[in-house]
Copies of this chain bind each other. A is one copy, B any other.
Amino acid sequence: MSTNTTKSGQQGEQIDRQARILEAALDLLSLHGISGVNMRAVAREAGVALGLVNYYFEDKMSLIRAALHSIDDHDVRLVAPDPELPPDEQLQKALRRVAGPELLTTRYLSLRLHLWALAQAHEDFGLINAAAFDRYLDGLAALIGNAKPELSGAQCRERAADIVVVQNGMWLTALLGVDEASIKRSIARTEEIAFAA
Q: How many copies does the complex hold?
A: 2
Across the interface, do B162 and A121 meet the contact criterion of CB distance under 8 Å?
no
**Interface segment out of the listed A8-16, A144-152, A175-183:** A175-183
Contacts of A179 in B (CB 8 A): 161
Asked if A90 is at the interface of the complex by the 8 Å CB criterion, the answer is: no
Smallest CB gap from A34: residue in B? B35
Smallest CB gap from A165: residue in B? B169
**Interface segment out of the listed A49-57, A72-80, A110-118:** A110-118
Task: Show 18 residue pairs from A and B whose CB-CB distance is below 8 angstroms, ordered by the A residue.
Answer: A33-B120, A34-B35, A36-B121, A113-B116, A113-B117, A113-B120, A114-B121, A116-B117, A130-B176, A158-B185, A162-B186, A165-B170, A165-B173, A166-B186, A167-B169, A168-B168, A169-B172, A189-B189
Number of interface residues of A (CB under 8 A): 41
Most chain B C-beta atoms within 10 Å of own C-beta, residue among A36, A110, A166, A179: A166
Smallest CB gap from A174: residue in B? B165
Smallest CB gap from A179: residue in B? B161
12 more CB-based (< 8 A) A-B contacts, given A110-B120, A113-B113? A31-B121, A32-B121, A33-B122, A34-B35, A36-B121, A114-B117, A120-B175, A162-B185, A165-B186, A167-B169, A168-B168, A169-B172
Across the interface, do A117 and B165 meet the contact criterion of CB distance under 8 Å?
no
Across the interface, do B169 and A129 meet the contact criterion of CB distance under 8 Å?
no
Q: State in angstroms the CA–CA spacing of A162 and B32 once bound together.
A: 29
Asked if A133 is at the interface of the complex by the 8 Å CB criterion, the answer is: yes
Q: State in angstroms the CA–CA spacing of A34 and B38 once bound together.
A: 14
Contacts of A168 in B (CB 8 A): 168-169, 172-173
Asked if A164 is at the interface of the complex by the 8 Å CB criterion, the answer is: yes
